[in-house]
Amino acid sequence: MLINNMVYNLNQNLRTLEKLQYQKATGKKFRVPSDNPIGASKSLKFHTDISKLEQYKRNAEDAMSWMTDTEAALGEIGEVLKRAYELSIDVANGTKKAPEDLQKVKEEIDQLREHLIQIGNTTYAGRHIFSGYKTDKPLLNEDGSYNIELREDEIFEYNVGISEMVKVNTLGGKVFGKIGLDDNVKPIFNGEPDYASNINEKEMPYLIAVFDALSEELNSGTDPEVIQESIERLQNCHEQILTVRAEVGAKMNRLEMTEKKIDIQIENVNELLSLNEDVDMAEISMHIAMAENVYISSLMTGAKIIQPTLVQFLT
């Protein structure tokens, strides 16, 4: 009985020492839930919270990248409109231009129009940014007409927090607008451009129609009134682009603040997780030294209980 008790207690002391050494080696207070059921449950919850926050951060970063490309595309459209405005002002300044000069201006206007179509079909990670839910299809055809039907509610949202959503995409209709066509499929500029309604396939964007009308006028002549109307339309388009850029910029600023908030939340949860499961190295080293002394004392006591020879037992 003495020997069995001694061996049992010796093994208990050895297990205690081994457990403390494992904690020091891994830096963790427990390795299986049975070591500390409550602590293990808290750790699981903290790890779940961290995973959710990291996913929210990835969503915010993806949304920010999407909006960055959108803002860049809008900025590029603004530069195109600015250049077209400068050319129109130069034509309308009262100095009669030679036909070859007007032809050069027309060629540049046509190139700016083609560039607008390319910007309208801008992609992010293989997805068209102005095409609503139909991100696999370009917004505009080669002739400048709309390639897809587009509803005004085709806005997708990213989850960047608990019950916190952010609208990511910008619809092409809000950027390029819509205009009516006559029987000869020519743009009708009566009234304001439509930036808010649904878009049907083959409809003409207002922004492209403005460039078409300006190009046609440069090709046929330079009526000052028509050129002045084109200048006013370009100004209206530029104001609309600035409005959309302001909306995108506001959402980007919100996302930046959201990312900072998520970083702080991740840091706080990591701190709580560390307090819950990380060991204090100074404290664990002290406990190991005490456990070693207990184990050595157990061995010394056991050596006295278990006599190594029969002669010492008899004596």
Please state, in angstroms and rounded to a whole number, the distance separating the CA atoms of residues 291 and 102: 95
The whole-number average pLDDT for the span 205-228 is: 84
Name the nearest CA neighbour of 171 among 74, 270, 277: 74
Query: 23 near 273, Cβ under 8 Å?
Result: no
pLDDT the model gives residue 25 = 80
Question: What are the extents of the domains in the chain?
Answer: 56-270
- Alpha carbon 198 to chain centroid distance? 27
For domain 56-270, give its CATH number from 1.20.1330.10, 3.10.20.90, 3.90.1310.10, 1.10.3720.10: 1.20.1330.10
Q: How confident is the model at residue 261 (pLDDT cuts 50, 70, 90)?
A: very high
Please state, in angstroms and rounded to a whole number, the distance separating the CA atoms of residues 35 and 242: 61
Query: 289 near 25, Cβ under 8 Å?
Result: no
pTM: 0.80
Q: How confident is the model at residue 114 (pLDDT cuts 50, 70, 90)?
A: very high
User: Average pLDDT, whole number, for the chain?
Assistant: 86
- pLDDT tens-digit readout, 130-180: 999 999 999 999 989 999 999 988 999 999 988 889 999 999 999 999 887
pLDDT the model gives residue 64 = 94
Please state, in angstroms and rounded to a whole number, the distance separating the CA atoms of residues 235 and 237: 5
